[in-house]
Chain A
Amino acid sequence: MSRDLILRVIGKLLIPFILLFAVYVQFHGDFGPGGGFQAGVILAAAIVFYALIFGLENARQVVPDWLVETMLACGVLIYAGVGLAGIFLGGNYLDYFVLDHDAIHGQHRGIFWVEVGVAVTVSGVMLKIFYMFASRGNLNGPEDY
């Protein structure tokens, strides 16, 4: 599809807004529909869209494989780290109440970071799955396992 002018132009126009929308869904998750999972999927969808139009190799330069694998590990660590922070600050595991002087504020802070972790892991996993399927049978691509 790399020679399709309309797709390329529209794609270039839309992808920044898709990314922005992902961020909106992420941060508005506290007050409306949304949250880390949905934001992560939208974020990954933007990259998948990019890969469909500009080719897998270009997408791999934007978001390389090592970054994808780091993302899917880091998200879980952020989530678990919030839980462990609760223990270090004198509460139970995943205790958001102790994350700030004000308990309600602590709840906000806790869920904020947990959702960040979810978004990072979900977009990482989505991209990993896409890359693995997309590079199958492609002899020139990096080895798939």
Chain B
Amino acid sequence: MSLLAHAPALQVVLPLVSAPLAVLLRHRNAAFAVVTAGAWAAFAAAIALWLQVGESGVISYHIGNWAPPWGIEYRVDRLTSFVLLLVSGMASIVLPYSRASIEREIPRELHYLYYAMFGLCLTGLLGMTITGDAFNIFVFLEISSLSTYVLIGLGRDRRALSASYRYLIMGSIGATFIVLGIGFLYLMTGTLNLADMAVRIRDIESSRPVLAALAFLTVGISLKVALFPLHQWLPNAYTYAPSAVTAFLAATATKVSVYVLIRFYFSVFGESLVFAKLPLPEIMLLLSLLGMFAANFIAIFQDNLKRLFAYSSVGQIGYITLGLSFDSFNGLAASIVHLFNHGIAKGAIFLLIGGIVAAGAKAGTGPLPLSFDRLAGLSRRMPLTCFGIVIAGLSLIGVPGTAGFVSKWYLILAAMDKGQWWLVAAILASSLLAVAYVWRFVEAAYFRPAADEVRREAPLSMLLPAWLLVLGSIWFGLDTSVTLGSALDAAQHLIGSKP
């Protein structure tokens, strides 16, 4: 058996092993090398899986050689491999970046623990994505959540601790709901394997425990997704976490939760139950619209740049769940592709903001150089950083030629399929709000006079990964064969043969 056959297991195991090794080595450079190698290996495994799924369809890997449904099964289909690609790819880009970034934000003696936690967080997110076992999802969710709380708490600002604590409380409530839902499903079907569960649930799908399970899972996962009224933990967590952590979480954590939601809705409960018999699409549509407008509106009035884009993340999550609520081929494809496109655009923005923090810290100008007064005339000091934020911001707005346009286009197509023109108008109107908050940055950075005009860019090791993502958000706007191709494939696979 070649190593390739074990790619599904190695995908999760390699980052997992890198974390305790980092603790064992106790040296920040060694820890950095080990965890980065683990993340790159995971990325390689994700690429291998993506190619393999394209050739031979669904891959099933039996942990411990116990056949499913008794043993734990790792199951990779098109959607899984696409999300794995995003998560491991973002980790491979953020880790090299974080070396220079945490130098200025985290005390040195904690660096090796930072890398260990990062490795565990990556393990948890990859595991949640790849596993085909309901309880396993919960276990990996806890691994990723617990390490996330630590990572957020490492932030330099003291408020990072309270933000982390708040997320801990909300996240634990969410995780409890999820495990309750899984418990109900296990009670009713007697299996934890998702594929097996989907078959057995058909006969009892309108029984009360199954509906209760659906409700628990929806609320619990929505908490982790940060769907609009349940997003309260997100702005503070993103604002006060170390820059590299914010970028990684914004690009991956909520996205993996959306993936789990899609998995339960389409692969376990089935769309006929979720979308036809219950008023769930209406609820989700309403909450998504509220998120798109309220969160984007709040974003405009933030004085901290990081907080502004944190609220924008809540708004962008609204687009993703809006696509889900359509229950149509195009809507689902829009959701899936927006997972990816928003991930790289938001990742790029938070990485570049980390550069601003780093340059400000180097000049010794205090803790948070991110208020709009401090950003005045920033484009003279940091032209590359500012230009990058503007391009990624255009992708958030959905300007043609950027990745964001592709997802918005499919979202609008889905709305037109349903014949709901007012929704098309709503999507366009909420994009105008995005124009407003991106413009606030442009206005401050380009049109206000600068206090000093000395060029002081972020270090190259931070600019390079960030610009890689900026270029990515243009590249995936022009060449959509990987992103949109995967999304269409995945939507086809999930929804059956309904074009």
Partner of B61, one of A73, A80, A83, A92: A92
A106 CB to closest chain B CB (Å) equals 10
From known contacts A90-B1, A92-B61, A92-B65, infer whether A145 and B109 are also in contact, taking CB-CB under 8 Å: yes
Name the one of A73, A76, A94 contacting B63, with C-beta atoms under 8 angstroms. Answer: A94
Q: How far apart sit A73 and B21, CA to CA, in the bound complex (Å)?
A: 7
A87 to B335, CA, bound (A): 37
Which of B12-20, B212-220, B310-318, B452-460 participates in binding chain A?
A: B12-20
- Name the distance in Å between A129's Cβ and chain B's nearest Cβ: 13
Q: Tell me whether B65 and A91 are in contact (CB under 8 A).
A: yes
**In the bound complex, CA of A87 to CA of B109 (Å):** 36
Of chain A, the residue at the smallest CB distance from B9 is A93
Known: A92-B62, A92-B65, A95-B65. A83 touches B26 (CB 8 A): no
Enumerate chain B residues within 8 angstroms of A96, measured Cβ to Cβ. 64
Contact string against B for A residues 78-113, beta-carbon threshold 8 Å, 1 for contact and 0 otherwise: 001001101100111111110000000000000000
Cα distance A144–B118 in the bound complex, in angstroms: 21
Tell me if A74 is interfacial: C-beta within 8 Å of chain B: yes
Q: Beyond A92-B63, A92-B64, A94-B64, is A84–B23 a contact (Cβ under 8 Å)?
A: no
Q: Is the CB of B20 within 8 A of A87?
A: no
A97 to B63, CA, bound (A): 12
**Interface size (B, Cβ < 8 Å)?**
21
Report A100 CB to chain B, min CB distance, Å. 14
| Complexed CA–CA distance, A64 and B299 (Å) | 49
Q: Quick one: given A80-B17, A87-B9, are A95 and B64 in contact (CB under 8 Å)?
A: yes
B145 CB to nearest A CB, Å:
17
B110 proximal to A (CB < 8 A): yes
- Alpha-carbon separation in the docked complex, A140 to B263 (Å): 53
Q: Which residues of A in the span 25-77 have a Cβ within 8 Å of any Cβ on B?
A: 69-70, 72-77
**Chain B residues near A73 (CB, 8 Å)?**
20-21, 23-24
Specify which chain A residues have a CB less than 8 angstroms from the CB of B109 in the assembled complex: 145
Most A CB contacts (10 A, CB to CB) among B1, B17, B109 go to: B17
| Contact of A93 with B13 in the complex, beta carbons under 8 Å | yes
B6 within 8 A of A: yes
B9 partner residues in chain A, CB cutoff 8 A = 83, 87, 92-93
Q: From B12, which residue of chain A is reached at the shortest CB distance?
A: A93
Q: By DSSP majority rule, is chain A's interface helix, strand, loop, or mixed?
A: helix
Query: Which residues of A are found within 8 Å of B19, using beta-carbon distances?
Result: 76
Q: Mark A98-137, 1 if CB is under 8 A from B, else 0.
A: 0000000000000000000000000000000000000000
Whole-angstrom distance between the alpha carbons of A90 and B441 in the complex?
Answer: 56
Which residues from chain A contact B65 at a C-beta distance below 8 Å? 86, 91-92, 95, 97
* Contact A92 to B24, CB < 8 A, known contacts A84-B13, A97-B65, A145-B110: no
B1 touches A80 (CB 8 A): no
Contact B20 A76 (CB under 8 A): yes
Is the Cβ of A77 less than 8 Å from the Cβ of B64?
no
On whether the beta carbons of B24 and A93 are closer than 8 Å, the reply is no
Known: A92-B64, A92-B65, A95-B65. A87 touches B6 (CB 8 A): yes
Interface residues of B in 445-477 (CB under 8 A from A): none
Q: A95 to B63, alpha carbons, bound, how many Å?
A: 7
Note all chain A residues with C-beta closer than 8 A to B10: 93
- For A91, A94, A145, the residue with the greatest tally of chain B CB atoms inside 10 Å of its CB is A94
Query: Which residues of chain B are within 8 angstroms of A76 by Cβ–Cβ distance?
Result: 16-17, 19-20
The 6 closest A-B pairs by CB, nearest first: A93-B9, A73-B20, A73-B23, A94-B64, A76-B20, A73-B24
Interface residues of A (CB under 8 A from B): 69-70, 72-77, 80, 83-84, 86-87, 90-97, 145
Interface residues of B (CB under 8 A from A): 1, 6, 9-10, 13, 16-17, 19-21, 23-24, 26, 61-65, 107, 109-110
Pairs across A and B, CB under 8 Å, 23 listed: A69-B23, A69-B24, A69-B26, A72-B20, A72-B23, A73-B20, A73-B24, A74-B24, A76-B17, A77-B21, A80-B20, A84-B13, A87-B6, A87-B9, A92-B61, A92-B65, A93-B9, A93-B10, A93-B63, A93-B64, A94-B63, A96-B64, A145-B107
Beyond the given A74-B20, A76-B20, could you list 13 further A-B residue pairs with CB under 8 A, ordered by the A residue number?
A: A69-B23, A73-B24, A76-B17, A80-B13, A80-B16, A80-B17, A84-B13, A87-B6, A90-B1, A93-B6, A93-B13, A95-B64, A145-B110
